[in-house]
Every structure is written in structure tokens, then in C-alpha cells.
Chain A
Amino acid sequence: MRRTVITLRVNGETHSLDVEPSTPLLYVLRNDLGLRGPRFGCGLGQCGTCTVLMDGRAIRSCMRPVSRAEGEITTLEGLSADGELDPVQQAWIDEQVPQCGYCQNGQILTAKALLDRNPDPSDEEIRQGMNGALCRCMTYYRIQSAVRRAAEANR
């Protein structure tokens, strides 16, 4: 069994880990680094619950082998560095978005990546950009309001 020391940059810190290189990033983040933001939803890249940012792009950590997790990884915890909430997170609180909240990690990070590349999305662009992030409490209506609110706050 191949075991190599893997170096990961997560939320501004560097970690050296002795794990099987094919291990999905999700389990390393959760079980080795103790992070709670990314959560298992499907393991198939269909739902978005496990989303993290890699160099600012939203990726599915359940599908990404840890050996291919290059670049700077940001999880939900890393979004509010220095005690200051990201405007996207603040919008989520202001709109009282979550119900159960299990998927909201993916919703928030997908919105963050969307707004970073398109600071002023149209309603249609929000629907398109957020479409892969599923919510079974169906908070889509409030999520879309929160994305619009965060876009305004960034302006």
C-alpha cells in the first residue's frame, strides 16, 4: 500500500499528513483536520454538501483524491478568518436562510465562488450558478435572496 506524506494548505495553514493518496479530500478534512464545514452527502459529486474552495473555485471534496488537492483550500471555517464573517455568511444570517443547515456549507461556498467570479449576477445567473447545490429543506428561495443581498453588500 502506497503511503506518502501529503502536504495540504487549508485555511492558511500547512499540514503534512501520512495518508493513502487516493483518500477523498473530504475524509482528510473531517477526520484528520477535525473540520466540520464540509459534510458527506452523496459521495458522487451530485449534491454539493462537501464543497470546499480550491484556489477560489468550488470543488466537491468527496470526489477529489487528497493527492490532487493542490493549491489553497478554504472551508466554511476559513471563510470567517480573523473573526469577521464573510459578507456571504452575513447575508445568510440576515436572510435567516438555513433550516436544518446540513447543505448550507455547500450553498455558502458555491455562492462565494459565484460572486467572486461574477460580483453582480442576474437572477438567472444565480439560478444557474447555484443549481448544483441541493437543499432538501428547499431553502432555495431564501438562498437566492441572500446571494442578491451579498452582491449588494460587496458593491
Chain B
Amino acid sequence: MKRPEEFPAGMEEALVPWEGSTSRRDFVKTSGLFVLGFSSVGFSGVGGIGRNGSGDPGEANPYPDPDYLQLDSWLVVHEDGTATFYVGKTDGGQGTGTAMRQMMCDELDLAYDRATLVMGRTDMTVDQGGSGGSDAIERDALAARRVAAEARRVLLELASERFEVPADELAVSEGVISVAAEPARTATYGQLIGGRRFDVALTGRNVNETTGLAAVKPVRELKIVGQSVPRYDIPAKVDGSLEWAVDVRLPGMVHARNVRPPFAGARLVSIDESSVRDIPGFIRVFREGNYVAVVCEREEQAIQAAESLALEWEQPETAPFPSSEDLFDYMRGATPVGAGTGTSPRPRVEGDPDAALAGAASVVEAGYDIPFQGHTAIGPAHAVADPSDGQMTVYTNDMKPYSHRTGIAEFLGMPPERVRVIWMEGPQLYGRTAADDAGFEAAYLARELGRPVRMQWMRHEETAWDTKGPAFAIDLRGGLDDAGNVVALDYRARIANYAHVGYNQADTVLIAQLMGIRPERPSPGGGRGPDEMYHIPNRREETRAVRFPLAFETPLRTGNLRDPNGPQTTFAGESFIDEMAAAANADPVEFRLRLLRGTTEDDATFRRARSIAVVEAAAEAFGWEPRPSPREPGDGPILTGRGISYGYRVQTAVATVAEVEVDRESGRVWVKRMVCAHDCGLVINPDGLESTIQGNLLHGISRTLYEEVQFDGERVTSVDWRTHPTLTHRDAPEQIDVVIVNGDPNPDRPDLPHYGAGEPSHRTVPAAIANAIHDATGVRMRRIPLRPERVLAELTAAGA
């Protein structure tokens, strides 16, 4: 079928491997659709718009960084009046690209279908860091909007010169500029600048501040923003025509597979290469330190060789970590790493929590346990690396292609300008591909072999060795006064986040660690309490990291997992708020509103107003009847209940209500209905936002009900979908209602910002479900995941 989008076809052109003897100038001439883009963006004039603005770095530096201070790096108008936008972000399937294209089209005054958008190529798009932190819409799109607005301003200036009419007497509509008083006099964007460079410098101390002279449009003038434009990437994902990173095939390419240590911390003693030498297509075994990989001509041969390779490993004398059964006792009993450093910042204290607890009418105490959870991407890690002519091109779904490039360059000892990373679509990112090990491995093997190498991990490897969301053990104490008001809150968390991989660091990716490369000390991950806007006069928040004996080359290395730490800390925080509400015999919604309305005398007023708005909106949309929890339990085999949870992330406020059915006989929990009230400011694409929130909610249900990394004292024993289960079709809610809220105390201001939505709603899910189970059964579930056997055990113990 004919593709609805031109862009994928162009991407294929761009995938022609770079040849050292061919200048980029020639490449421009021969590469079809991209000719216009390249010729204008700088492939034919790199010296002029290079970062340093001098010389011709083309010869020495094959892949110079696109200069964010040049308009031409961001936006090209073609002769036919269409435009191509270049942004340094990636899209994990939440519609980031579509939304950014909407925003840039709006500022440029160009119809949405007259533009395409290129994302995440280090040689072509400015370094906006790739994806992470749900910041694309909140931060990076604002820079992109300003650049597109500047392009429009320059086009108006060009038209003003052509017509000899002041710019403010011109009108613009969908890429056509006309003289307001003489509508017959028109010029298209293509006529004004098509195929040529703007040559306009921008300003800004860093890429986030990039701006020209033009201001962005006030919200009321935005026409494409706010529409549910269909995602441009979906048709090619549905008809099978899209080329993904996993599909890249290059001439002479060979296939690689890793061989991982059978025990965490094992030392490789010897390899018997004769065990695989007779496998057809066998090329080589690579070994450096404890890193082992096999390379064969065909993919299934490489898989067979990896399975057949005979190795001798030596098990470490000390157990690398406790078993998952003993994890929480271990975490509570271990001496944490020093306070005030890395993962263990100093406690945050307000008021006098100890005195307030001592003087409280009643004190509530509870502990919550959240295990390690895997990313367990649906497609294991993969990349293709091409080492031809002394350069290195990596085709990857790494969500942060820029640090992937610098990390690989450092790892291989190559100058970064001889390395380029081309982001392509891949299985979900959610933080896993912020340090995509496979790209490093493919690049290493490709350089060693001198041929293009395709690496892909196997399922057992992905599940056991991917980066993990850290385990938490959280103990809370709360003090209530005679009237049931919260007077004190004491939050103390232990977090197993001592071997964090960071972003594509050359000394923390798995291949580096297995080779024996070490950072000076383990990379600390972050650790802080739940973000909420409750007014509680006396509180302490303390998060301290605990370490395991094995801190390097460990399968329990942690990495950012969607809304890092948010679901864990909010599970504890919002479950505990519910426990205090129950102790105060208060309705859970009313109890939260009381805490949010406690004061208006600080700078959190804006955040509190928006928090109140989402809690009220969620309760209203659900049809929440005020009463304390738990309800009177029913007699039948199915118990039903409702629970609410609220969270705040960066500048986005969310409240979620879950309605659950608990099967008394099996312990199975089904989240039948969810209502999510969501305030992320200005909404760019309502349907895209709803889809993103739905994904967040269901991913949250999966982590709440099923997901746990299991391990014994030797190795991770979660190796597939049976041993690290995930939500399935059977578990999908019957109804999900997303309520878009704008709780800004001044909702009509023209510059209403757009905040992030890729993660915030995720954190509200675990507590909403646990609170609903408590409402239904009177039983409080404090240990994630809420698998049927665990729920049944608690129900039986409580006689419920």
C-alpha cells in the first residue's frame, strides 16, 4: 500500500551506510527525499553552521553536532512549501513526535499534513538529550515552538521585502503570506525560502533556552494544538511497512549473541571453543574479562552457538545478594550507606515531628514493601553497528541517542565526531533504553570484527539482566489529634538503589562492567519520598540506600523505570494516608482535601489548587459516595470496593480512583474500573494524552498485581513471562475514564504552559488498588505485588 507518510521512505534513504570515500555533499545529491533537508540543514555547508562556525570540519569530523543556535538546524522549508522539523527527542509510542509537530506547525502557520518531523539522529537533530523525565512537551517543545515562531517571523520579513509592505500589514494562513489590503498578492513559504537556508542565528545559553526574536503565539491563537490529530507513526506500524531498529540489515552484516555468567558475580575460568566450532556459519567467540559473545553468519546459528558454548565459571565465595524471600528483612537490617551522600541525602525535616508524635492523640504505624521490578521490554535489547571506514554508526532504539553516542565513543576510545547514533522505533523505552547495553556490545564487536554486527538479547537475558526498578522498604508513622487531623508524619525509606546505571555511561553499562571496567564507586540512584502537596506541620522524610555485597556486574543493577521511584513511594504514602483516614473514621477523599486545604500561606498555593481540583474531579467522575473505609463487606464470593490515590510529579497533578473486585476464593483482584483526573496544563493532543494515561494506568496495574523480580542467593530466577508475569488481556479494566482537568487558579492566561504526561499518572495506581482492596475486604495489603496467593493468605488470616 502507499504509505500515508513520506518520512519512512526517506528514512530508508538515510540508512544507506556511510562510506568514507563519499562526501556528505555527494550523499546529499543521491539521497532522494532528504536532499532538500540536508542541503539546507548543513550537509553541504557544514563549515558555515558548525558549532564553532569556522573551517570545514567535514573532513576531520564526519558527524558534526547540529548547532542549536542556527535556525536551519531545526527547520527546513522545501521548494513545494512543505517543511521538515528536526528535534533531538525520541518517541516511545506516547505521541511525542506528533505533538511536537502539531506545536511547530501551529507556530509556523503551516497545515499539519504539510510537515514531517525527524527525531533523535545525532548527526541531524540538535542535542535535546533524547527522551526522559516526561520533559519533551514540558521543556523541549517550548524551544521548538520558539524556533518555529522565529521562522514565521523571518518569512514575514522576506515577504515584507518582496511586497514592499510592512510586515504588520501582511496576513499568514497555512504557509501562504498575503498583503492584507490586497489579498491577491500572495507568496508561499516555498517561494520565499524553499530549498534555501534561513541563515538566521538564534540565542540561548543552552538548547532549552533557544529562542529567536519572535514570541510564541498566545494559547487562544493555537489551532492545531488541542486537536486529536492521529499519530503519524501508527499506519506504518499497523501495515508492517515501518523499518524498526530491529529490522536494520546491512551488506556483510553478521549476527551476535551474548553468553552471560550463570551466577551473579561469577568469574570466567575458561572457554572450550571446540564446542561451537562445527556450528555452520560460526565466525568467532569474543571474550574479555567476564564478557562473552559469539558471532555467526546467521541469527539462528548465533543463538545455537550461544546455547552450546562450553564454559567454566567460578562462583563467588560470598553470596552476591540476599534471596528475594529475605529481601525486606535484609534491607531493614542492613547498615545503610552514609547519609548526606548519593542515594542517602540528609533527612528533610519540617517542624518537630518527634514532639508532635509524642503529643498526638493517636499514632498510626505501618510498613510497606515493594520488590525489584523489571522493565522486561516486550522485545529484548538490540542494535546494529556499522564500523566501515573508521567511523561507527549505531542503529538503535536508545531513547537517549546523544549520550549513547558519547558513551560508545568513550568506551571504544573513538572521537565522538566519528560516531553517530541513529534512533529508530523499538519496543517500549520507559528508562530501559537510557543505557542500552546492546548498542555498546554491537559497536564493540563490530569494531573488533571489522564488519557490521547485529546484536539481540534473548528473553532470559533481558528479563534477568535488564535494569531494574529499585526495591523499597518504607516505614511510616503518623500522629492524629483528637479531631482526626494529621499533626505529624514520619517517613523512613530504605532503597536498594546502590548500583544504578545512569545514562549510557561507558563504565556502568553491562559490557563494561563484565570486562572489569569500574567507576570509582557505584553510581547512586535517586531517592526521595512521595511528592504531594499535603499540609502537615511536622514531618520528617528520610531515604537511605542499602547495598548488597555485589555492586558491579550485577543483574540487580537499577535504572530508571517509568516514573522512577514514584509508584513505590506513592504506594506507601497514599496507602498510609488511607490508613490514617480509616483511623480517623474519615472519608478518604474528604480526608485528603482537608490536608490539601490546610494552608494557603506558602508558595504551594498553585500546586495545591491543582491538586484539590484533580481529587475533586476524580471523585465526582467516579460517583464517589462519602463514607469511611472499609465498607460493610458483602456475603458473596466477590467483594467490591473503591480506593483513591493522588500524586504530583514535577508540575502535573493526578488523582486516580480504582474500583476492584476481589475473589474471596482465589484471591484474584480485578480492577474493573478506573477514573483518572489529570492536570498537565495545556493539552496538545487529547486522544494522545488519553492513550498515554491509559498505558500508565494499565502498566501500573501490572506492577501492582503481578510484577516482581525473584532471585535466590546466586542469580535472578525471573527469566521469562512465567517467572516475571505481566498484565494480560484478561485483566484489562472494563472501563477507564480519563478526566482532563485544568485546575490552574488563573486558567485563562494566554501563556498557559504544557506539562509532562508520560509518567505522572503511573504513580497513583498501586495505592488506589490497595486502598480499594481495603475498602472491599477490610484487609490492608502492604506488600507489592498483590498476587492472588498473597491476597488469599491475607484474607484467610483476617477471616474476611
Contacts and interface: CB of A to CB of B under 8 A. Distances in A.
A132 B731 CA distance: 12
Contacts of A61: none
B240 A99 contact: no
A92 B238 contact: yes
Contacts of B721: 42, 44, 46-47, 134
B695 A137 contact: yes
A96 B729 contact: no
Contacts of A24: 300
Nearest to B732: A140
Given A36-B244, A43-B459, A92-B238, A141 B732 contact: yes
Contacts of B425: 100-101
A43 B695 CA distance: 25
A80 B234 contact: no
B237 A104 contact: yes
Nearest to A129: B729
Interface in B1-38: 1-2
Interface stretch (B142-150, B372-380, B642-650): B372-380
B378 A43 contact: no
Given A31-B299, A77-B241, A92-B238, A140 B459 contact: no
Give chain B's interface residue range (CB within 8 Å of chain A).
Answer: 35 or more
A131 B728 contact: yes
B736 interface: yes
Which of A92, A93, A102, A138 is packed against the most chain B CB atoms within 10 Å?
A138
B694 interface: yes
B506 to A, nearest CB: 27
A102 B730 contact: no
B699 A137 contact: yes
B93 interface: yes
Contacts, number: 179
A85 B236 CA distance: 11
A69 to B, nearest CB: 14
Interface string A127-148: 1101111111111111110000
Interface in B669-694: 687-688, 691-692, 694
Interface string B731-769: 111101000000000000000000000000000000000
Contacts of B736: 141
A119 interface: no
A104 B241 CA distance: 13
Interface in B375-414: 376-380
Contacts of B692: 99
A41 interface: yes
A102 B378 contact: yes
Contacts of A43: 303, 458-459
Contacts of A41: 378-380, 459
Contacts of A142: 691, 694
A53 interface: no
B426 A96 contact: no
Interface magnitude class on chain A: 35 or more
A134 B496 CA distance: 29
Interface string B351-391: 00000000000000000000000001111100000000000
Contacts of B2: 83
A76 interface: yes
B241 A36 contact: yes
A93 B730 CA distance: 23
A107 B616 CA distance: 37
B459 A137 contact: no
A27 B299 contact: yes
Interface string B296-334: 001110010000000000000000000000000000000
Interface of A: 1, 20, 23-24, 27, 30-31, 34-37, 39-44, 46-47, 49, 75-77, 79-80, 83-85, 89, 92-93, 96-105, 108, 123, 126-128, 130-144
22 contacts: A30-B247, A37-B240, A41-B379, A43-B303, A46-B721, A46-B722, A76-B239, A77-B241, A79-B239, A80-B240, A85-B238, A93-B235, A96-B231, A99-B94, A100-B92, A100-B425, A101-B233, A103-B427, A136-B428, A138-B699, A139-B698, A140-B732
